[in-house]
Amino acid sequence: MSESPITPRGKDFATWYQDVVLHGDMAEPAEIVKGCMVIKPNGYAVWERLQRELDDRFKATNHQNIYLPLLIPQSFLQKEAEHVEGFAPELAVVTIAGGKELEEPYVIRPTSETIVGHFFSKWIHSYRDLPVLVNQWANVIRWELRTRMFLRTTEFLWQEGHTAHSSHEEAVEEVLRILDLYAEVSEEIMAVPVIKGVKTRAEKFAGALRSYSIEAMMQNGLALQAGTSHDLGQNFGRAFDVQFQSKEGKLDYVWQTSWGVSTRLIGGLIMTHSDDKGLVLPPKVAPRKSVLVPIFRKDEEKAVVLEAAAKLAKDLGAHVDLRDGMTPGAKFFHWERLGIPVVFELGPRDVASGNMVIKRRDTGTKEVIPQSEAVAKQAEILDAMQRDLLAKARQRMQDNTVLANSIGEVEEILGSVTAEKGGGKFVMAHLKDDPANDARIKEFKASVRNIPSVDLYDGPGKCILTGETVDRRVVIAKAY
Amino acid sequence: MSESPITPRGKDFATWYQDVVLHGDMAEPAEIVKGCMVIKPNGYAVWERLQRELDDRFKATNHQNIYLPLLIPQSFLQKEAEHVEGFAPELAVVTIAGGKELEEPYVIRPTSETIVGHFFSKWIHSYRDLPVLVNQWANVIRWELRTRMFLRTTEFLWQEGHTAHSSHEEAVEEVLRILDLYAEVSEEIMAVPVIKGVKTRAEKFAGALRSYSIEAMMQNGLALQAGTSHDLGQNFGRAFDVQFQSKEGKLDYVWQTSWGVSTRLIGGLIMTHSDDKGLVLPPKVAPRKSVLVPIFRKDEEKAVVLEAAAKLAKDLGAHVDLRDGMTPGAKFFHWERLGIPVVFELGPRDVASGNMVIKRRDTGTKEVIPQSEAVAKQAEILDAMQRDLLAKARQRMQDNTVLANSIGEVEEILGSVTAEKGGGKFVMAHLKDDPANDARIKEFKASVRNIPSVDLYDGPGKCILTGETVDRRVVIAKAY
Ligand SMILES: [Zn+2]
Ligand SMILES: [Zn+2]
């Protein structure tokens, strides 16, 4: 048996991740374009599955898709002070077009709040025009220094929702509705448990009043911000003069929200479930649920096996691996690395006995079953796998969540954690939402992930830095 | 009754088109970004319908979706001489990123053959790696001087397929398979008849050996190139050193193809079917097939009508227009302008009699029908409308196709045709495929659209410019 091309997690988590991504046909680095990747067929098919799940939910909650220009006049970014400060260092700027230097350069969108503000001011005049609930599926560019496939790339694919409302209350409802929707897709479809909560002021989106996030835990214990939903208040409404006439005839600025998830979700998916054999995909995101590998040596066996295989595969919705010049063993490894949830084997003796072998990707369990039960068994295994992957990830998160009651304790737990070595924890501590406190946490390269929406711990307590009483514990962790 | 906001076709075709696009909620110009548009909800929903139809067919023919970087190193464009010549004048160039001047600027992809060439050379080594059949859904930028919503915008959305094969024969099969697929979606889904054929050498894609197109006729008689499929030969293989070892152990360059359709299709759709009342959408591309407008005056009528409406709408899959403060008349005009194929009316007397009114968008026909037959009647009308729109467009194309046997005749027919005034024709003439001949046709602002794959006319004849015998007549027209 040849050696696995996948570096074990325990040896080097970062290299393991890269190996899983490459051998899972998920992506590869595009060295010739700084910090970009090519999303390969298996990776893009997973993205399409996630798009479908998200988009169906957006539409069911009355959002409509639109498409806005990629390029934004540079001056637009300046209009909201915090926003430009947040994004200016990461912009890619078009200065030449059609053979001429441009009078005003364009930036490639790092996100679209500014151009949305411009169009909202054209579309919205009266309370009758509200709410406006739109979303776009698009690419964005943020010039990052350190990149990692899916988790942080200079170009990435995402959806960005943008809404305008006539009251702050309604906007906040929208922000939380979307946060719930993101958590649902993450947990029920991706089998990735998350903590919903509000970001600290120091960590909020540049230009928002408040930002909410879902935070997941990777196998090395690092946190991953998997989605964000922002209460923009009237900041962009004011910056872009988006005013509406209320029912009472008064002029007011609209209340806006924005929210997004990106191809980063795929990185979180991989880092949550995969193992030393390669990619593991929860059945609900697996583009292909099962594959059947026919086994035969002699030509007379081939015909019999392939005939039975074709029939079974049809009922199972399975792909039959007919590749010539490849051993069954090599085929098994191939599908294992691609994260196919269920792989069947069918050889001449199976055909004779009416049996077949079914193998489950996450547990590696192999079982001989009657062919007549294959369809039911497959459905059962797919269900169980979806459920078990979530339960396992939940258990891991629970096992690696600890309480701390002093800054010394937090630093001791997280200080030496790295992405490569692992050992990360979610440390629950009482901490006041104050940028000075965030800065202290950043000294040991951790951060406040969020202030959970639901307090699962002991309620109010004294801030570990200022001693003031705060409402509940926050999540502190090292993060991607 | 208020005046229609839509300029009649007969008055000014270009303004009519713009009015239909705007009032159909299809798109609006994004003046702040040169030549760009915002694709509005109805327009984007039509694009999603087209994406679904195309993507299903790509997958059924074994293509896989991937995603490649938006930015391309400027030097890549130089590697294929014809390609750079064709695209250089239209490039948008990123010279600054992350706050620094770039050592090598990037161009925003105008199309991805060059970056595909780079990756194919990494992925392909042996005949075993072939064919490679990939596609991407993406945005591209071409800095155009004269733009028109959907038909020609500096940024547009499209799909670009890229394939590599071990023989020219197989590549040509792929090119023609995709051309057929495009024609099928155009005719069967969009109800837009097209002429399949090969472009002249002067009109082919920059870097291709041969380009094939589907050409449609708009209501003003102008041609629209609705999709292209290119036989790239070994040009990009050579430029990017994409070599493979053949079965016989020899090294050879791969044979490549590329093919694409874009949001331009939507422009063609609108210009083929819409009328002076606004947008007309063939049922198969209409995001919403039917709407029910309930009619009532008094409060006691309202309850009865809405209850019956909800029940009927459920069976019909129709949206019920419940907007307050809007007359039924205003609602009818609204749905008419949005191109909804079928609109139902239901008033108190209808509820009492068990009837309802059904109105068909393209013909304007109104009919009173029993509620019990509404589902069947709706299906029948949607079918008929899909069929009739194609037949009508076919008839128009036939009526406006003429033969010409001298250059004088061609010029006389086409010389004074403009997009605004209309009167365009497809002129079928014998013409040799020679750039000098294309240049002569361009003198009166017409062009050779393609050399049809199927000759529907009189076979070989003498070229109207050189007198040499050529195989068949070509299509000459003014075009978008
Ligand atoms: Zn106004
Ligand atoms: Zn090689």
Domain ranges of chain B: 13-273, 290-388, 401-477
> What is the spatial distance between Cα B460 and Cα B374, in angstroms, rounded to a whole number?
54
Please judge whether B68 and A108 are an interchain contact, meaning their C-beta atoms are less than 8 angstroms apart: no
* Residues B406-460 pLDDT 10s: 999 999 999 999 998 899 999 999 999 999 999 999 999 999 999 999 999 999 9
B197-B199-B202 Cα angle (round to 5): 165
Find, among B205, B193, B320, B310, the residue nearest to B256 by Cα.
Answer: B205
Enumerate the residues of chain B whose CB falls inside 8 A of the CB of residue A145. Answer: 98
Predicted local distance difference test score (pLDDT) of residue A1: 45
Find, among A232, A202, A228, the residue nearest to A214 by Cα.
Answer: A228
> What is the spatial distance between Cα B276 and Cα B409, in angstroms, rounded to a whole number?
32
Adjacency order of strands within the sheet including A342-346: A319-320, A290-294, A342-346, A355-360, A366-370
Question: From the candidates A31, A34, A36, A38, which should be mutated to test the interface with B, based on the most B CB atoms within 10 A?
Answer: A38
Q: Which residues of A355-380 are buried (b: 16+ CB within 10 A; e: fewer)?
A: bbbbbbbbeeeeeebebeebeebbee
Ligand with the closest atom to the CA of B123: 2
Measured in Å, residue A120 CA sits from the centre of ligand 1 at: 10
> What stretches in chain B show pLDDT beneath 70?
1-2
> What is the spatial distance between Cα B39 and Cα A119, in angstroms, rounded to a whole number?
12
Enumerate the residues of chain B whose CB falls inside 8 A of the CB of residue A37. Answer: 69
Please judge whether A41 and B108 are an interchain contact, meaning their C-beta atoms are less than 8 angstroms apart: no
> What is the spatial distance between Cα B462 and Cα B411, in angstroms, rounded to a whole number?
17
Taking all residues of chain B, what is their mean pLDDT, rounded to a whole number? Answer: 97
> What is the spatial distance between Cα B472 and Cα B464, in angstroms, rounded to a whole number?
12
Enumerate the residues of chain B whose CB falls inside 8 A of the CB of residue A88. Answer: 99
**What's B313's DSSP letter?**
H
Find, among B256, B238, B231, B207, the residue nearest to B82 by Cα.
Answer: B207
At residue B458, the 3 state secondary structure works out as coil
Please judge whether A70 and B141 are an interchain contact, meaning their C-beta atoms are less than 8 angstroms apart: yes
> What is the spatial distance between Cα B335 and Cα B343, in angstroms, rounded to a whole number?
8
Cα nearest neighbour of A71 on chain B: B33
Phi, psi of B3 (to 5 degrees): -70, 150
ipTM value:
0.96
Phi, psi of B72 (to 5 degrees): -125, 130
Please judge whether B155 and A70 are an interchain contact, meaning their C-beta atoms are less than 8 angstroms apart: yes
Q: How far B374 CA lies from chain A's nearest CA (Å)?
A: 26
Measured in Å, residue A124 CA sits from the centre of ligand 1 at: 7
CATH number corresponding to B13-273: 3.30.930.10
Q: At what angle do helices A168-184 and A41-60 cross, to 10 degrees?
A: 140
Q: Say if residues B282 and B333 touch (Cβ distance below 8 Å).
A: no
At residue A427, the 3 state secondary structure works out as strand
Interface A–B counts its CB contacts (< 8 A) at: 151
Q: Say if residues B417 and B425 touch (Cβ distance below 8 Å).
A: yes
Residue at A393: amino acid letter: A
> What is the spatial distance between Cα A238 and Cα A207, in angstroms, rounded to a whole number?
11
Q: Which residues of A127-152 are buried (b: 16+ CB within 10 A; e: fewer)?
A: beebbbbbbbbbbbbbbbeebbbbbb
Could you tell me which residues come within 8 angstroms of residue B447 by beta carbon, excluding any fewer than 6 positions away?
B203, B438, B441, B476, B477, B478, B479
- Is the bond preceding B131 in cis, omega lying within 30 degrees of 0? yes
Count Cα neighbours of A436 within 13 Å in the Cβ-side half-sphere.
5
> What is the spatial distance between Cα A420 and Cα A192, in angstroms, rounded to a whole number?
21
Measured in Å, residue A63 CA sits from the centre of ligand 1 at: 23
> What CA dihedral angle connects A381, A386, A387 and A393, to 10 degrees?
130
**Can you read off the two tokens belonging to residue A191?**
């089998």
Architecture of domain A401-477: 2-Layer Sandwich (3.30)
**Can you read off the two tokens belonging to residue B270?**
């609108």
Could you tell me which residues come within 8 angstroms of residue B8 by beta carbon, excluding any fewer than 6 positions away?
B16, B276
> What is the spatial distance between Cα A46 and Cα A36, in angstroms, rounded to a whole number?
18
B171-B172-B177 Cα angle (round to 5): 100
Please judge whether A139 and B70 are an interchain contact, meaning their C-beta atoms are less than 8 angstroms apart: yes
Q: At what angle do helices B264-273 and B13-23 cross, to 10 degrees?
A: 110
Find, among A95, A90, A94, A85, the residue nearest to B99 by Cα.
Answer: A90
Q: Say if residues A449 and A475 touch (Cβ distance below 8 Å).
A: yes
Architecture of domain A290-388: 3-Layer(aba) Sandwich (3.40)
pLDDT tens-place values along chain A, 480 residues long:
457 899 999 999 999 999 999 999 999 999 999 999 999 999 999 999 999 999 999 999 999 999 999 999 999 998 988 888 889 999 999 999 999 999 999 999 999 999 999 999 999 999 999 999 999 999 999 999 899 999 999 999 999 999 999 999 999 999 999 999 999 999 999 999 999 999 999 999 999 999 999 999 999 999 999 999 999 999 999 999 999 999 999 999 999 999 999 999 999 999 999 999 999 999 999 999 999 999 999 989 999 999 999 999 999 999 999 998 899 999 999 999 999 999 999 999 999 999 999 999 999 999 999 999 999 999 999 999 999 999 999 999 999 999 999 999 999 999 999 998 899 999 999 999 999 999 999 999 999 999 999 999 999 999 999 999 999 999 999 999
**Can you read off the two tokens belonging to residue A178?**
């979307």
Kindly state the helix (H) or strand (E) to which residue A470 belongs, with its residue range: strand A469-470
Q: How far out from the chain centre does Cα B346 lie?
A: 36
Ligand with the closest atom to the CA of A244: 1
Question: From the candidates A55, A70, A119, A133, which should be mutated to test the interface with B, based on the most B CB atoms within 10 A?
Answer: A70
Q: How far B35 CA lies from chain A's nearest CA (Å)?
A: 10
Question: From the candidates B94, B112, B149, which should be mutated to test the interface with A, based on the most A CB atoms within 10 A?
Answer: B94
Predicted local distance difference test score (pLDDT) of residue B41: 98
**Can you read off the two tokens belonging to residue B254?**
């791969």
**Which of A73, A108, A139 has its CB closest to that of B32?**
A73
